[in-house]
Amino acid sequence: MPEYLETTVDKFIFRVATDRVYSPEGVWALAEGSRVRVGITDFLQQRNGDVAFVHMKPIGTKLAVGDEFAELETIKATVSFFAPVRGTVVEVNTDLELSPEVVNQEPYGKGWLAVMEATDLEADRAKLLDPQAYLSAMRSQAEEELKKQ
């Protein structure tokens, strides 16, 4: 079980797992040897609403950093998510076909989206945000949203 950093913005509590790194857009990457498990943050799942469908690039798809690897259809929006590292999709979370709500319930656990075989994990990981840096960026983004009237 990962440990979490936590921040409260308005009435919302957002958690950031401390055992992984993050793209500025809120895709997490958890190293597992040469492979990387990826998913979305608690902030992104709360921000986008109840997930209705998850579409992922098929196994074997080669991705560069920033390529779309998943699309989530939620009650409020259809949102694309982009690869945080270079590599090839080697596994997708097929449980989400029947239970997409797990992305909302366990974004850092059973709600993972895909596993990638990374091309150069060390180089790509160095460009991602550590949990504290992501927490700060996410908090700023949430506060910016609150200011929009």
Partner 1 sequence: MSRTATYHTTVRWKGEHWGHLVMGNGPEMDFSAPPDAHGHADVFTPEDAFVAAANTCVMMMFIWATERFKLKLLSYECRTEGTKLIELDRTEIFTRLHFRPVIRVAADGDSPSVVEARVRRALQSAQKYSLVANSVKSEIVVDPEIVIEP
State the minimum distance, in angstroms, from the CB of residue 45 to partner 1: 14
Query: Which CB atom, from 10 or from 122, has the smaller least distance to partner 1?
Result: 10
Q: Which amino acid is at 146?
A: L
State the minimum distance, in angstroms, from the CB of residue 35 to partner 1: 31
Binding site for partner 1 (CB under 8 A): 49-50, 52-53, 73-76, 98, 101, 145-146, 148-149
State the minimum distance, in angstroms, from the CB of residue 75 to partner 1: 5
Query: Which CB atom, from 76 or from 127, has the smaller least distance to partner 1?
Result: 76
What is the rounded distance in angstroms from the CA atom of residue 57 to the CA atom of residue 37? 14
State the minimum distance, in angstroms, from the CB of residue 131 to partner 1: 28
CB atoms within 10 A of CB 117: 17
State the minimum distance, in angstroms, from the CB of residue 149 to partner 1: 6
Residues 6+ apart with CB under 8 A from 113: 38, 39, 40, 54, 56, 69, 70, 81, 92, 93, 96, 103
Query: Which CB atom, from 48 or from 61, has the smaller least distance to partner 1?
Result: 48
What is the rounded distance in angstroms from the CA atom of residue 24 to the CA atom of residue 95? 27
Query: Which CB atom, from 132 or from 140, has the smaller least distance to partner 1?
Result: 140
What is the rounded distance in angstroms from the CA atom of residue 36 to the CA atom of residue 28? 9
Query: Which CB atom, from 67 or from 145, has the smaller least distance to partner 1?
Result: 145
Q: What are phi and psi of 114, to 5 degrees?
A: -155, 165
